[in-house]
Amino acid sequence: MSSPQKFLFLGATGYIGASILEKFLKHPRAAEFQISALVRDISKAEKLKAFGVTSIVGDNSDLDLLQALAKDADVVISVAESTNVPATKAALIGAKRHFEETGRPTIYIHTSGAGAIADCTVHGMHQDSPTYDDFDAAQMAMISPAQLHRPVDLELLCADDEGYIKSYIILPTTVYGVPKGPLADCGIQRLQNSLLTWLVPVSLARGQGGMVGEGRNIWQNVELDELADLYIILYNQIAKDDQISHGRAGLYFAENGAHQLSEVSAIIARTLFEHGKGQSPIPTPFTKDEETNMGPMVMLIGSNAKCKASRARALGWQPTKSTSAFMESAREVTIMSLASPTSNA
């Protein structure tokens, strides 16, 4: 009997990470998996044991621990801190040692984000930024090293070039949907972590749906459960053919539809108004002071991030939920926030 395949999950209790973990726990070959997760919260670590997950209490600041865990992993699934270069370097040191000892490159599936292509000069005023296609290798190679997520992505790409990992980088767009499943039900999974987390609380606090500038900018969107499906499809393809596109040819956007910021803000504004928490059903631009209080995130909210998930669809990923579902989710999250302002924490 062959030895079990060892998985290391980073970000297993997060909004996206827990949905991915749940699908791997239900995988037809789950009995062949040995799944470990680095978890900050002791109570969540204890709860994960009931699902057959070996939980190690710690966080990405413990670089020695990261090295040791990655050294022992055949597969790393990273869904945490996509801007943390030191943590990534530590995990890669461990992966390199794994390769030196076993001769097998680590399968490294990493979650980046469409912020890597975001045009942050837009400030909600237009839609005229380029559309990126992940099948266009030349275009993808031109992404600036200064872009959000890109420094971590480049560390992984260089490691893939050296041959001791095979990197597969997924770049989700705006992720939406309220998690539903065992990990959410028992309090392991974080309930919300998307653009709505920023827009809804700020709009609720100001008593009026808001937007950056004129809200003309565009982002793509992807539903949480369908995004998690992509990780399973990708893993299954890798298991069948270890030559599947990886490294600089292994960047996979995740999108199914697009939305204009003003349309999302209008949903939030109308919902607040209908519940007596907003002055008008029509969103208004954030003031300079409000934008200052929002910090750097305001540039991302007002940016364009336009892309095509050509590689994911070529793998067989077939998402069905599009922008209408995203808009309904915006309404649902706004109502949840009215009932419990801390429900998305």
Residue-wise pLDDT tens for the chain (345 aa)?
468 999 999 999 999 999 999 999 999 999 999 999 999 999 999 999 999 999 999 999 999 999 999 999 999 999 998 999 999 999 999 999 999 999 999 999 999 999 999 999 999 999 999 999 999 999 999 999 999 999 999 999 999 999 999 999 999 999 999 999 999 999 999 987 566 778 999 999 999 999 999 999 999 999 999 999 999 999 999 999 877 899 999 999 999 999 999 999 999 999 999 999 999 999 999 999 999 999 999 999 999 999 999 999 999 999 999 999 999 999 999 998 898 755 433
**Block residue for tokens 């789950």:** 30
**Cα 319 to Cα 110: distance, rounded to the nearest angstrom:** 20
pTM of the prediction?
Answer: 0.96
Per-residue pLDDT at 1:
44
CB-facing half-sphere around the CA of 53: CA atoms within 13 A: 28
Beta strands in the chain, from DSSP E residues, in sequence order: 5-10, 33-39, 54-57, 75-78, 106-111, 131-133, 165-172, 174-176, 210-211, 218-223, 251-254, 258-260, 284-285, 306-308
DSSP-H helix ranges across 119-260: 137-141, 150-162, 182-185, 195-206, 224-240
Report domain extents, the chain: 5-120+130-180+223-254, 195-220+257-307+318-339
Per-residue pLDDT at 343:
43
Class of 195-220+257-307+318-339 per CATH? alpha beta
**DSSP output for 69-109:** HHHT-SEEEE-S-TT-HHHHHHHHHHHHHHHHHHS-PEEEE
Per-residue pLDDT at 176:
95
In the DSSP assignment, the letter for residue 187 is T
| Fold assignment, 5-120+130-180+223-254 | Rossmann fold (3.40.50)
> Which residue type, as a one-letter code, is found at position 186?
C
Per-residue pLDDT at 2:
66
